[in-house]
Each structure stands twice: as C-alpha cells, then as structure tokens.
C-alpha cells in the first residue's frame, strides 16, 4: 500500500468514526448539556382558549437565541399562532403542557447543542438556504434541523 492510500484510508476511518459518534450520541450527554445551561422548568398557564408561557423569555436569553426565532420554532411545531407580550408568550390554543418541555429539549438537540462535541456554547448562522450551528468550543459548523 502506498503512503497516500494509507492516509486516505485513515481519513475515511476517522470520518466513519465521527459519523458513528454523531449517531450514537447518548441522551445522558444531551441532558448534561441541558444541566449546564441551567434552564428553568417552563411555567405554563392555561386560561380559557389561550396558553401562557410565563417564563418564556428566560429561554432565548439563556440559550442566546433570538426571541422570535425561538417563538417561531414553537409556532411551527405546535401549528398554532403565538405572540410575545412582556416576556411571556401567548399561544392561541391549548397544546398539552408537557409538549413545551419536550419542544425545548428538541430545540436544544436541533438548534443549540453542537453535534460534534455536545457543547451548548453555539450560535446560529443563517444563509438563504440553511441555518448552521456554529460551535464556539470546537469550531464545528453543523446544519441545524427543525
């Protein structure tokens, strides 16, 4: 085997390993990233036909995400309209209360936590077609989902 082939093979093995690590990312690592972020429990209040997410603005602040970007995620995932008033989010409907914490976890996985090193210290970079999670810990640029 020539040296070049060896280098190529090692590289391929390395990439395959990375891919496996990405897929096998254990839930516990995501949970520890959530703990590092020190996110509160969402406070949800249902009044009549509306659902009020009382401590809504704490989340984009702690995650360093745009409030509207964060709200839009909930809007599209729950398929109901919502607006922000004085740090609260008002949803025009009555989604299940547990769906809020589930969506926060999913938002973290899809748009906050770096899929390479599991760091929550990331920011989003948007272009016309894609949104990238840019990791401030390892420098990886990964496509955001959701």
Check if the beta carbon of residue 51 is closer than 8 Å to that of residue 95: yes
The interface mask with Zn ion, positions 58-97, x = CB under 5 A, is ----------------------------------------
- Classified as helix, coil or strand, 95 is coil
Decide: is 33 part of the binding site for Zn ion (CB under 5 A): no
Residues 6+ apart with CB under 8 A from 123: 64, 133, 134, 136
Residue 132: CB minimum distance to Zn ion, A: 12
Residue 128: CB minimum distance to Zn ion, A: 24
Three-class DSSP labels, 105-133: HHHHHHHCCCCCCCCCCEEEEECCCCEEE
Residue 146: CB minimum distance to Zn ion, A: 18
Q: What span, in angstroms and rounded, lies between the C-alpha atoms of 31 and 107?
A: 13
| Residues 112-141, interacting with Zn ion (CB under 5 A) | 114, 116-117, 119, 135, 137-138, 140
Decide: is 17 part of the binding site for Zn ion (CB under 5 A): no
Residues that bind Zn ion (CB under 5 A): 114, 116-117, 119, 135, 137-138, 140
């Amino acid at each position: 085997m020539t040296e070049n082939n060896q280098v190529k093979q090692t590289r391929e093995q390395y990439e395959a390993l990375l891919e496996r690590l990405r897929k096998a990312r254990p839930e516990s690592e995501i949970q520890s990233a959530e703990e590092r972020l020190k996110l509160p429990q969402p406070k949800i209040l249902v009044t009549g036909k509306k659902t009020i997410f009382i401590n809504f603005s704490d989340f984009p602040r702690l995650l360093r995400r745009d409030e509207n970007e964060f709200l839009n995620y909930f809007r599209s995932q729950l398929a109901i309209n919502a607006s922000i008033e004085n740090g609260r989010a008002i949803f025009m409907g009555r989604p299940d209360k547990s769906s809020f914490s589930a969506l926060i976890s999913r938002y973290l996985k899809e748009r906050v936590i770096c899929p390479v090193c599991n760091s929550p210290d990331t920011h989003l970079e948007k272009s016309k077609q894609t949104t990238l999670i840019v990791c401030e810990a390892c420098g990886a640029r990964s496509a955001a989902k959701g």
